[in-house]
Amino acid sequence: MGIVGALFVLYPLRLTAKSFIQCGKLSMRSFQIPAAFDPAPVLYPPILPVLVALSIAPGNANAVLPSLVLGLSSVPAHLVPQIASSELVSSVHWALTMLLTSAAKHNITAGSHIPTNTAPHVEILALLFPLHRNLLAVITSLTTTSLLSSEAQLLTVALINLLLLSATPQAKILSIILWTGGLSLFVFCSHIVESNVALERVPVQQLKRAGRALSTGSRSFVASLADSLGGQWQGDDGAELDDKSIAVNTSESSTTYVNSSPLKPTRPSLRAQRTNTRERSSSFRTTRTLMLTPQQIEMRKWAYAIWTYLIIIIVILLPIRYLVQGALNAQEPFGWALGYVFGDIPALHNLITTNNLQSWIPLSFDSNSTSTTTTSLPHPKLAPTPTPTLRLLLILHALLTLTIGITTVLLLTPYLYIDTRRKIFHFTMVVLLLPTLPLDPCFFALALSLILALFLLLDFIRAAQLRPLSKPLARFLTPYVDGRDLRGPVVVSHIFLLIGCAIPLWLSLGGVDRAGDGAWSGWEIRNKDRGDISMLAGVVCVGMGDAAASLVGRRYGKRKWMWGGGKSLEGSAAFAGAVVVGLSVGKVWIGYVEMWRMGGEVIGNGFEMGMLEWFTWGIKAIIAAMGASFMETVLTGCNDNVVVPVVLWLLVRGLRL
């Protein structure tokens, strides 16, 4: 923090010194803050990850040190002096991170209470800075303008932290899915996707007529893929690569245009220049694409889609499946999932035991006692831990809630504004998660991770315009997108909504001890950690607070905040009130769940609290809600659906609610 603060303080002094060196006089213009200055990239990426790490594990150097190094790496490059302007990665910046690493390591080894074997390796910490820089570049190139700079920084830090610090099975699975799946798709499909998007951009009426088709139909699928994979990365504009590949394909396969040089535009390109002056600069690309007939374009689009789907299936079945086994105590993931969800169904249970499939599909209780009689299956009401039957009921509840929510939105679409329609999804998340999440937090952590992976995959298919799913997906999403989604290729609203609901749960479960035996080791939390209300912060914040602020602010918002904009005091008050109500309901509900789980025994969470304790708790809840509401009001440089739940989670844990 001291280093970051020193960099902030030194920045205007450096500017003044630079202007003095260049102009020979002191210029006060160096100190002027532009009116459009947004402090979010300076504030949140360096500070929030450190606060989260301190809140999860204050005494664990494993968690805090990487966050400190990554926080320092997230400081904007302008704030750090550079030795040479031509260097790609600031060596001074890297040296500062290593200085921080060495200082922290010295403190760790000096402190007697922290075991040395838990401290992170120095080499890993030293390599965090280049890893952060490269990952940030990749994320920025993939998402282009969809993410703000501070969001890209936070995402980068979160992914690296997930890679380094994932210790629970749920976090490991999420890390494996995001890193392995993402890297595999990036390596094997990025060029294919760029080619497909470039083909989709070409208007059909400008393609070559089928009657004048060239003999390119015999071009093999493998050769097309090989050409596309062999292309070079051309930067953000993916059309360059595709045009090159198409040019190669066409010139090789066609006898008519075999002598056509890329530098010598042929007749179609001239026609394109005349007819479409807006794309004059891209006439060369159009030239190459216009040489293909619609049938050839169609064939290539399907080939690209099939290749991408094939890669997705292979990646899921081979590397992800293999790596997830490590998080599941060497259990095969699909068999483990069957036992995890359907293990209590008597028919399946008998089938597994009779065919001796326990090694593939683990069961949650002793098979010998249940193979004789199915009536001895433990009822979820009396079970000390969540059972597959309960998980099955939770899945049914989720499906029913989603069905009702989506049907309601579709029925009310002609009568409601888009913002109101979007808020119905927020309420759906509340109904879906608030009553059920305390029942089995680990299950929901896994389910939300899988749903996040599914959302990312579907949006990848939509953005890549892969057939046949992209158009139905785009048609479904179109009524619900807003300006934030139109910034770039990624529709971020539903992804951020899901992350906002899930991230407090993931963070809360990241710092608690685990229980469970055998195949279920690490899939239960201990009783002392069950009453943690902070895991509900995301649902309360996104589902209740945000929706209440929007609805109340639109209808009753008269007094705006002094700096203008769309936010009103009434909306902010509604946000805070809804959060207080949500936290109170969550606390009482968690207490009931624990009492229900323990067979009627009262173990806390409000049931033995006196009036004074309730009053104190209420004051703390109001403070936390006001902090989150104020953050939602002033936050502009990051998505509020993600940052505000994290802030509420920090406040709830910090105030010990």
Query: Which residues contact another protein (rule: CB under 8 A)?
Result: 33-40, 43-44, 47, 51, 54-55, 58-59, 106-107, 109-113, 145, 148, 482-487, 561-565, 627, 630-631, 634-637, 647, 650-651, 653-656
Tell me the Cα Rg of the chain: 28
Q: What are phi and psi of 242, to 5 degrees?
A: -60, -40
Closer to another protein at the Cβ: 107 or 256? Answer: 107
End-to-end CA distance of the chain: 27
3 state DSSP class of 636:
coil
Q: How many beta carbons lie within 10 A of that of residue 97, not counting itself? A: 24
- Minimum distance from residue 487 beta carbon to another protein (Å): 5
**What does the alpha-carbon distance between residue 331 and residue 361 come to, in Å, rounded to a whole number?**
8
Q: Which amino acid is at 294?
A: P
b vs e for 297-336, b when ≥16 Cβ sit within 10 Å of the residue's Cβ? bebbbebbbebbeebbeebbeeebeebbeebbbebbbebb
**What does the alpha-carbon distance between residue 489 and residue 211 come to, in Å, rounded to a whole number?**
35
Closer to another protein at the Cβ: 109 or 355? Answer: 109
- Minimum distance from residue 655 beta carbon to another protein (Å): 6
How distant, in Å, are the alpha carbons of 240, 245, 275, 473, 548 from that of 306?
Answer: 22, 18, 34, 17, 44
Helices (H), 24-148: 40-56, 61-73, 91-110, 122-126, 128-143
Closer to another protein at the Cβ: 43 or 569? Answer: 43
- Minimum distance from residue 64 beta carbon to another protein (Å): 9
- Minimum distance from residue 471 beta carbon to another protein (Å): 23
- Minimum distance from residue 564 beta carbon to another protein (Å): 7
Closer to another protein at the Cβ: 104 or 303? Answer: 104
Closer to another protein at the Cβ: 402 or 635? Answer: 635
- Minimum distance from residue 116 beta carbon to another protein (Å): 11
- Minimum distance from residue 501 beta carbon to another protein (Å): 20
Closer to another protein at the Cβ: 230 or 566? Answer: 566
3 state DSSP class of 609:
coil
**What does the alpha-carbon distance between residue 640 and residue 496 come to, in Å, rounded to a whole number?**
9
3-state secondary structure 87-118: CCCCHHHHHHHHHHHHHHHHHHHHCCCCCHHH
Residue 561: left if φ>0, alpha if ψ -120 to 50, beta else—which one?
A: beta
- Minimum distance from residue 475 beta carbon to another protein (Å): 20
Closer to another protein at the Cβ: 37 or 415? Answer: 37
Whose CA is closest to 631, among 73, 47, 79, 55? 47
Closer to another protein at the Cβ: 349 or 567? Answer: 567
Q: State the number of CA atoms in the 13 A half-sphere of 354 facing the CB.
A: 7
Closer to another protein at the Cβ: 106 or 526? Answer: 106
Closer to another protein at the Cβ: 53 or 173? Answer: 53
DSSP 354-384: HHT-TTTS--SS-HHHHHH-GGGSPPTTT-S
- Minimum distance from residue 613 beta carbon to another protein (Å): 17
- Minimum distance from residue 59 beta carbon to another protein (Å): 5
Which tokens hold the place of 39? 């402090």
**What does the alpha-carbon distance between residue 78 and residue 85 come to, in Å, rounded to a whole number?**
11
- Minimum distance from residue 650 beta carbon to another protein (Å): 5
3 state DSSP class of 560:
strand
Largest CA-CA distance found in the chain, in angstroms, rounded: 93
- Minimum distance from residue 422 beta carbon to another protein (Å): 14
Q: Which amino acid is at 399?
A: L
Residue 516: left if φ>0, alpha if ψ -120 to 50, beta else—which one?
A: left
**What does the alpha-carbon distance between residue 300 and residue 308 come to, in Å, rounded to a whole number?**
12
- Minimum distance from residue 635 beta carbon to another protein (Å): 7
**What does the alpha-carbon distance between residue 406 and residue 480 come to, in Å, rounded to a whole number?**
12
- Minimum distance from residue 143 beta carbon to another protein (Å): 13
Residue 87: left if φ>0, alpha if ψ -120 to 50, beta else—which one?
A: beta
Closer to another protein at the Cβ: 540 or 628? Answer: 628
